[in-house]
Amino acid sequence: MSKIIKQFSKIIVPFSYYLENREAFFQKKAEGKDIKIWNEFSFSTNHLFDYINDKCNLSDSNSIMRALSMSDGARAMFGLRGANSLMELSTRGNQAGKKLKVKLRSINLYLFETHIGFLDFDWEYVDGDMSDFVNANYFLSELKSDKNVLNVQTGKDDIAEVHLKEVIENILCLFDNVTGFDIDENVSFYDLKPIAYSAILLDKEYDELENDLHKLASGDKSSYKTEKTDICSLFENSKWVGSDTTMTNVAWLVGDEVTDKFFQTQFLSNARMGYFYLFLLILNRKFTLLKRLHQINKLNPKSAILDEEQLRLQNEALSDAILKSQLYEIRCKFYRPSSVSHINKYYDYILTMQQVDIYEKELTEKTQTLIRITEESKKRLEVFENYRRVKWQFYVFLIAQIIGSITIFKSMWDIVEKVFNISIHENLLFMIIPIAVTLVYAIGVGIQMVLKYKEMKKLERWSQKQLKG
């Protein structure tokens, strides 16, 4: 077995969140202290296109992600010590046996404009071999077990037990509203397996390395007999393995001075920053897709709605879902992050492991269906609007003709008085003339009204028929 030179492992919890005031959240201070809980930062990346880098850029208002790191002074709020404090991980079924030594180097939060968030615990495993690394990843990801405990030294002889899922719960309580990604919303999202992202540098290659790669990819314990999975080789001495809940890089020294210097000084840093940044962007795509699909599945559009207001509200809900799907295409989706071939190869590998293409295909199909339903709804709304327009035209015509009849009667009254130089009030017989003319006009208007009323009722029957399909 070779020796681990450097390593880190991120245990990532996905969630959906809501914040009424984002800026107030970013400025929130630790309880009883004049210390901000979160400090904002940007990723340091190399060889990515500018528009990819700008997706998390403090100076760019079009950024889709905000990256935050918990300040050291705020850790005590959650029962945690500093980044250099050593903790022992006591695991389920092994309380009396070997305890894994770990350090929690940082706690990070990544919030996307899609209201998808990721809580990231950045671990370093101390004095362990590859088997310990595999087991630590497994047990730290097993949030549902209360028997996986972190023992934190709080005094010379005092030890406190910390449960990671309680820490997660307390951090997420800082949000106005948080939900997980379970099919059944009544089940705690802690039953889901978090995502493990890791990188390891070994002093040399060893015979059982491929078996351990498959265990890291599947998230299994070292004792499991794991099936083989696809391996992504970017360099001869650097392998990426993953699944829908893991992504791990294992690299090793080869005895070449230039190559070994690069891997000892730069590669792990690249894995922690640039490669992880791309991994986050893909996770956002995946969980945004899951959220959009969940929202669409709850729409339940009905075709036999006869009430205009209900149809209008349904159409607004469908249009909102379509717009969000289209915004995903514009803001989140991209095909190539770099002009460097091995970075693109890594990116394609993550997309495959996270099955993003399957979710995107489903969302595209359902969005197209929503567009068709919305177009049909618009036609149905036009039926309502046409009927309402004809109805108003009928009543406007009726009022206009009543006013017209009065005007004609008054005009004929004045004409008779002027022509015959009389006062109709004194010669009531002459009233027959304005009455007769007005009556003739009224009969013509009445005939038009009957025809228009029949047309309106015919349109009403046709409209009802159209609305009932």
- From first to last of its 469 residues, what are the pLDDT tens digits of the chain? 689 999 999 999 999 888 888 888 888 888 777 889 999 998 988 889 998 988 887 767 778 999 999 998 898 888 888 888 888 888 776 644 567 889 999 999 999 999 999 999 999 998 778 888 888 888 888 877 777 888 887 767 778 888 888 898 889 888 888 877 654 444 455 556 789 999 999 999 998 888 888 888 888 777 777 778 889 999 999 999 999 999 999 999 999 999 999 999 998 899 999 999 999 999 999 999 998 998 888 887 766 665 667 778 878 888 888 998 888 888 999 999 999 999 999 999 999 999 999 999 999 999 998 888 888 777 777 777 776 777 777 777 778 777 877 887 777 777 777 777 777 666 666 677 777 777 777 777 777 777 777 776 666 666 666 555 5
Judge whether 154 and 160 are in contact, CB under 8 Å.
yes
Distance of CA 415 to the CA centre of its chain: 77
Measured between alpha carbons, how far is 102 from 88 in angstroms, rounded to an integer?
6
pLDDT the model gives residue 192: 64
Judge whether 244 and 353 are in contact, CB under 8 Å.
yes
Residues 6+ apart with CB under 8 A from 53: 43, 45
pTM recorded for the entire structure = 0.82
Beta bridge partners of 249: 199, 240
Measured between alpha carbons, how far is 418 from 410 in angstroms, rounded to an integer?
13
Measured between alpha carbons, how far is 71 from 80 in angstroms, rounded to an integer?
12
The position carrying tokens 């101390």 is 126
Judge whether 91 and 143 are in contact, CB under 8 Å.
no
Measured between alpha carbons, how far is 389 from 455 in angstroms, rounded to an integer?
13
Measured between alpha carbons, how far is 314 from 305 in angstroms, rounded to an integer?
9
pLDDT the model gives residue 187: 45
pLDDT the model gives residue 184: 47
The position carrying tokens 């969630």 is 15
List for the chain the helix, strand, coil content (%; round to 5). 50, 20, 30
pLDDT the model gives residue 464: 61
Residue type, 304: A
Phi, psi of 301 (to 5 degrees): -65, 140
Q: What is the DSSP letter of 63?
A: -
Judge whether 328 and 114 are in contact, CB under 8 Å.
yes
CA-angle at 12, arms to 10 and 14, nearest 5°: 165
Residue type, 87: M
Residue 2 in tokens? 């070779």
pLDDT the model gives residue 233: 93
Residue type, 427: N
Judge whether 48 and 279 are in contact, CB under 8 Å.
no
Distance of CA 182 to the CA centre of its chain: 14
Residue 180 in tokens? 């997980």
- What value does the CA radius of gyration of the chain take, rounded to a whole number of Å? 36
CA-angle at 195, arms to 192 and 200, nearest 5°: 145
Beta bridge partners of 102: 87, 125
pLDDT the model gives residue 196: 94
Residues 6+ apart with CB under 8 A from 172: 15, 17, 119, 178
Give SS3 for 457: helix
Measured between alpha carbons, how far is 275 from 284 in angstroms, rounded to an integer?
14
